[in-house]
Amino acid sequence: MFLSVFDMFKVGVGPSSSHTMGPMVAGARFLETLRASPFHPAGLRASLHGSLAFTGKGHATDRATILGLAGFLPDSYDHEKAEAAMAAIAESGTVTPPGLPTLAFRPDTDLVFDYRERLPGHSNGMILMATDAEGDVILQETYYSIGGGFVVTAAELAAADKTAAAPSGVPYPFETAAEMLSMAAASGKSIAEMKRANERHFRSVGEIDAGIARLWQVMDGCIERGLKGEGILPGGLKVRRRAKAIHEALLAERGLNLVPPHTINDWISLYALAVNEENAVGGQVVTAPTNGAAGVLPAVLRYWLDHVPGASPTRIGEFLLTASAIGGLCKHNASISGAEGGCQAEMGSAAAMAAAGLCAVLGGTPEQVENAAEIALEHHLGMTCDPVK
């Protein structure tokens, strides 16, 4: 089993990796299929099912689906261009995807929230269709957004077990924590070193380092924007953004002999809240492993860098590689999808990843890193995330 650090950590847009990023990716994938087909489409349709239907409005699933069908992608998302595209689609009743003719698409009739039918593969299901001039469906594909921005077709989901069992060619193909520790003991390598060796099978050292640097740049930038943001968060609960005020209060307390461990939770919670508020307003975030849990890992990493003596930016890669190894185990053996496993799947995985990364940069052995991840994970078992209004 191999899951790249760049699959576990993906640059995207809020508020949800499964309900916003996933549908946008699905829309873009459908365009690729349509461009490669022999058909001559005249229109597009979409239907959202299961959790995508029931909680889609609050997660901007409809907007994300429309933008995906217009050719937008999460990692290159431009808010101003997206706003202009949405306005044009609403006015004209058409969408013009890259490489395709202008297609009929009226959001109020051609995008349906289907609350009755839950698709069999996953709770986050959607069907995308292309139609001819008479309105008949000429191409149709079912997609599942399985958490963390990962999207699969129905056929890919059915073949997932076979794909996972196929040899990946990487030198350390661990699928369980026990295998990971056994390989670490046999090789004398740390978890991060094994993970880097696996990444080297597909990318150069320069590509790996540049990619990791960008991931942290986006994570840290998200924290910084969150610390400055003001106003009311989207949705009907009228929740006011709090990170800026808390940050100012913590800065005012400096010099009052408040030292760790008294302030650890204050600062970590602040950084996580800053990310969560940016995610809620649809800002740029990094899945860690999902948007819903995106604040946990960057908060721990930022706290280590800013507040722990001896911390060095040169070890950010070690932190993220270690964390991604643990996240891969969670995804492969259980789930990182909140719609599928509740908040324990998202927050539990995120806490395990953050604990593992922190333990690694503090000098922990592979056994200690694994134990840190396990302790963090078990304390989130049973956590749920039922919508409240």
User: Using 50, 70 and 90 to split pLDDT, how confident is the model at 257?
Assistant: low
Q: What is the pLDDT of residues 116-129, one digit of tens each?
A: 999 999 999 999 99
Paired tokens of 173: 């193909």
Model confidence at 79: pLDDT above 90 = no
SS (H, E, C) 218-250: HHHHHHHHHHHCCCECCCCCCCECCHHHHHHHH
Q: Which helix (H) or strand (E) holds 43?
A: strand 43-50
Q: What is the pLDDT of residues 333-357, one digit of tens each?
A: 999 988 788 889 999 999 999 999 9
Q: 84: number of CA atoms within 13 Å, CB side? A: 7
Confidence (pLDDT) at 269: 97
Of 59-63, 95-99, 201-205, 381-385, which gets the smallest average pLDDT? 381-385
Model confidence at 161: pLDDT above 80 = no
Confidence (pLDDT) at 167: 57
Query: Which is nearest to 103 in space by CA: 52, 139, 74?
Result: 139
Spelled out in words, what is the top-level CATH class assigned to the domain 17-161?
alpha beta
Model confidence at 165: pLDDT above 60 = no
Where in 274-336 does DSSP place strands (E)? Answer: 284-286
Q: What distance in Å separates the CA atoms of residue 301 and residue 313, rounded to the nearest whole number?
A: 10
Q: Where in the chain is the domain with CATH 3.30.1330.90?
A: 17-161
Omega before 387 within 30 of 0, i.e. cis? no
Q: What is the pLDDT of residues 278-337, one digit of tens each?
A: 999 999 999 999 999 999 999 999 999 999 999 999 999 999 999 999 999 999 999 998
Q: What distance in Å separates the CA atoms of residue 277 and residue 59, rounded to the nearest whole number?
A: 14
Question: Is residue 46 within 8 Å of residue 112, measured between CB atoms?
Answer: yes
pTM of the model: 0.88
Model confidence at 261: pLDDT above 80 = no
Question: Is residue 147 within 8 Å of residue 345, measured between CB atoms?
Answer: yes
Stretch 251-266: mean pLDDT: 78
Stretch 148-152: mean pLDDT: 93
Confidence (pLDDT) at 100: 97
- The residues pairing with 147 across neighbouring beta strands, listed in sequence order, are 150
The b-or-e profile of 162-189 (16+ CB within 10 A means b, else e) is eeeeeeeebebebeebeebbebbeeeeb
The average confidence (pLDDT) of the chain is 94
Q: What is the pLDDT of residues 37-47, one digit of tens each?
A: 999 999 999 99
Confidence (pLDDT) at 259: 64
- CA 172 from centroid of its chain's CA atoms: 25
Query: Which is nearest to 12 in space by CA: 284, 289, 346, 350?
Result: 284
Radius of gyration of the chain (CA): 22
Q: What is the pLDDT of residues 11-41, one digit of tens each?
A: 999 999 999 999 999 999 999 999 999 999 9
**Choice between 256 and 377, residue whose per-residue pLDDT is larger:** 377
**Choice between 275 and 340, residue whose per-residue pLDDT is larger:** 275
Paired tokens of 266: 């204050």
Q: What is the pLDDT of residues 62-73, one digit of tens each?
A: 999 999 999 999
Confidence (pLDDT) at 235: 81
Question: Is residue 300 within 8 Å of residue 358, measured between CB atoms?
Answer: yes
Instruction: For residue 371, give the 3-state DSSP assignment.
Output: helix
